[in-house]
Structure 1
């Protein structure tokens, strides 16, 4: 509906083209036929489009901008999208409760590839606080450049959920800042880099692992199309990491040992290297195309139960 979606197109006097499915074969035909100039994708779809663009016979030259949002788009994937589709990448990060961030079309490439944008309104207020303290006041910010939990307040961000006083007591600070649940880092330019979700951090023997960081490194491997890292229970460490990896359709599935060595050689700390690596043909997705980590966790639990 928005960002800019159907509403933005109507506001600007543009045409909206509705696709019956978002797969490359369907969408590329529509881009060619309708001369589509801008569209929006979640990262897994952006990866599929970028991979398929090299093999398509469809003319994609009308595409000017592809917006990617809904989940973090890491720099490895972000760097492939523009060249593969012949257009400008624009990263989007926001939430139904309010705050929306965009990279600008005239932002330097470094910011477009490594951040998820800055707020659309000058009146959006941002606080980044310690993630381990849900009762932290909105003024207790982390040091500049450090990752922390994102709080926001602004002209289009809600001040509370309807008839949910108990939930609102933890979802909002006393002075009205919404606790988004996102882990972010803010650049000197005001752009936000999404590190992950507060609840998705893996606590591996007391060391905190941000799944998106490890996913970015895995996706840098030439034979990897997509990756998702989750935490699984472990009797000794509390949690250990499991990486699900989708190989490129035209390549050979890399072995787990090869991927671990690849990540290690990129200078990643030893505790962040995945303990388990599973090669899968695709990921379960939500209704809007995001990778469903909940279903990945359930699949691991089900497998563990059958192996006991």
Structure 2
């Protein structure tokens, strides 16, 4: 097993095998018969072309062999930073075939984030697009390679400069190695198949090791719960590397059933509606902010969206009013609320749940062996119906973040429950309701932003003495970040602050969207900054500023 991975205790691993959850097959072994069974069926469509299951198998095999020729080997870590293009899927399966571990980065990540991924993992390669707007990923990779000796390979989707490999060429070029080389590779199904990224509260991201055993089961049980069938068609518009569109049931779960996946790099309503109409989309995954934008678009009635059967919503709570609007505009589509995390645990509302369960809850966990506790601040179980922090463990929930044993002591209970930081309660039906979170995160349209990460960067500004970043409510994104600062001297404008943070090379979605300059912070009874009071004060200020003038 890769050093730094926390294994499942043997008694639990044995139970999961006995119950058939774990098949002790690598993802490559899981998909080999699937590629053969559905060889002539369309598997994947993007803006460039469509691919059969045989095309995916053959293209990923060529790529896998060419990556082996470059010198990549089993357990090498590879930062993957690609948009919703078929090349991501081909690369994902190629890495599975050679036992390399993709790190599920986002195209929006910049040097600050990617350098941390490389440092934490000892990554051997980075795969990115050439440019996004005026941002040059090849320049970023070259800087990374100067600082991190482990980074041996730079691979580009697009116009590759000297010293870089073209991803498209690696896919299309006939390999010099024989296909039998892949058969000789041994992959431990208890090793990571992928590193997902945590939405943790600390400034340094955590790597979530999802093993071949648990990630395959994750997609199988999610597909079973959602009753995915071969004639279904999934539209992926959320970032493709995210856990939800990739594996819950996502690309993996749909392809396990021989279904079709359509990729869109655009979330513009026109493009989404056009894709649904053109491809007969039956399933789509959204976050509430995106669903609200789609439902409020005045052009929605111009398109034939009658094929749509399931709208799977995650990332944050969907308000009942949005559900009702969807029911009016898309009456044939079931909105399936879900709650999940890259760390594992999944809750889904079922299609046969009563109306009040659909409107108010995130349903139940998907596996019979998912274990859930709701606990108070002392780690004691709260009475039924009361709010507590979600602690969870099960056959697809991690037992520890990668390579951070000291952090794991606080993030997990001694008996292996993951302390999620999310607050939940059970309603009368026993289903779970999300009531907020204990973690210090801003949930901007489903993207979790660590307040501590941004606070540490703002504190490095020479005019800032103290800072507290808090969420403020937003009708479109759910929450946006407000930076509350106390200055040492002088003044600080919002533009000066954001320009300063952009110089720190962070993803733009992490930027504060409001600045409050203050002379003091409210304190809790323990002498800490009361972010609860700060949120309430700012919300009150915003409501007054938006009130009609007399």
Q: CA distance change for structure 1 residues 278 and 32 in 2, over 3 Å: closer, same or farther? A: farther
Larger mean Cα displacement after TM superposition, 180-189 or 147-156:
180-189
Measured against aligned partners, the alpha-carbon deviations of 1:64-110 in whole angstroms (never above 9, x if no partner) come to 11000022223332332333333110011111111011000111121
Q: TM-score, normalised by structure 2?
A: 0.38
Larger mean Cα displacement after TM superposition, 76-85 or 22-31:
76-85
Q: CA distance change for structure 1 residues 4 and 60 in 2, over 3 Å: closer, same or farther? A: same
Q: Which residue of 2 aligns with 1:73?
A: 318
Q: CA distance change for structure 1 residues 39 and 142 in 2, over 3 Å: closer, same or farther? A: same
Q: CA distance change for structure 1 residues 120 and 33 in 2, over 3 Å: closer, same or farther? A: same
Runs of 5+ in structure 2 lacking a partner? 1-245, 443-469, 485-519, 524-529, 545-550
**Per-residue deviation, 1:278:** 7.7
Match of 1:180 among 420, 429, 444: 420
**Per-residue deviation, 1:194:** 0.9
Aligned counterparts, 1:287-298, within 5 A: none
Aligned counterparts, 1:2-81, within 5 A: 2-52=247-297, 55-81=300-326
Q: Please tell me whether the aligned partners of residues 94 and 101 of structure 1 are also in contact (alpha carbons under 8 angstroms).
A: yes
SS at match of 1:29: helix
Match of 1:274 among 516, 524, 539: 539
Match of 1:153 among 382, 389, 393: 393
* Residues 1:116 and 2:367 aligned together: no
Q: Which residue of 2 aligns with 1:235?
A: 521
Distance 1:273 1:185 in 2: 27
Distance 2:330 2:403 in 1: 46
Aligned counterparts, 1:176-255, within 5 A: 176-200=416-440, 225=476, 227-228=478-479, 235-236=521-522, 238-239=530-531, 240-242=533-535
Distance 2:390 2:537 in 1: 23
Q: Please tell me whether the aligned partners of residues 521 and 534 of structure 2 are also in contact (alpha carbons under 8 angstroms).
A: no
Q: Identify the structure with the greater helix proportion.
A: 2
Runs of 5+ in structure 1 lacking a partner? 203-210, 219-223, 243-270, 280-308
Distance 2:381 2:408 in 1: 21
Q: Please tell me whether the aligned partners of residues 101 and 116 of structure 1 are also in contact (alpha carbons under 8 angstroms).
A: yes
Q: TM-score, normalised by structure 1?
A: 0.66
**Per-residue deviation, 1:192:** 1.4
Decide which structure has the larger Cα Rg and report it: 2
Q: Which residue of 2 aligns with 1:253?
A: none
**Per-residue deviation, 1:23:** 2.1
Q: Which residue of 1 aligns with 2:4?
A: none
Q: Please tell me whether the aligned partners of residues 129 and 142 of structure 1 are also in contact (alpha carbons under 8 angstroms).
A: yes
Once superposed, what is the RMSD of the aligned Cα atoms? 2.9
Q: Please tell me whether the aligned partners of residues 275 and 281 of structure 2 are also in contact (alpha carbons under 8 angstroms).
A: yes
**Per-residue deviation, 1:35:** 0.7
**Per-residue deviation, 1:199:** 2.7
Q: Which residue of 2 aligns with 1:288?
A: none
* Residues 1:92 and 2:338 aligned together: yes
Measured against aligned partners, the alpha-carbon deviations of 1:131-178 in whole angstroms (never above 9, x if no partner) come to xx3xx34xx111211111100011111111222110110010001100
**Per-residue deviation, 1:195:** 1.2
Q: Please tell me whether the aligned partners of residues 522 and 534 of structure 2 are also in contact (alpha carbons under 8 angstroms).
A: no
Distance 2:265 2:480 in 1: 30
**Per-residue deviation, 1:15:** 0.9
Q: Please tell me whether the aligned partners of residues 390 and 420 of structure 2 are also in contact (alpha carbons under 8 angstroms).
A: yes
SS at match of 1:93: strand
Q: Which residue of 1 aligns with 2:371?
A: 125
Distance 2:275 2:541 in 1: 40
Measured against aligned partners, the alpha-carbon deviations of 1:212-252 in whole angstroms (never above 9, x if no partner) come to 9x95xx8xxxxx5554376775634644455xxxxxxxxxx
Q: Which runs of 4+ in 1 moved over 6 A?
A: 229-232
Distance 2:391 2:477 in 1: 29
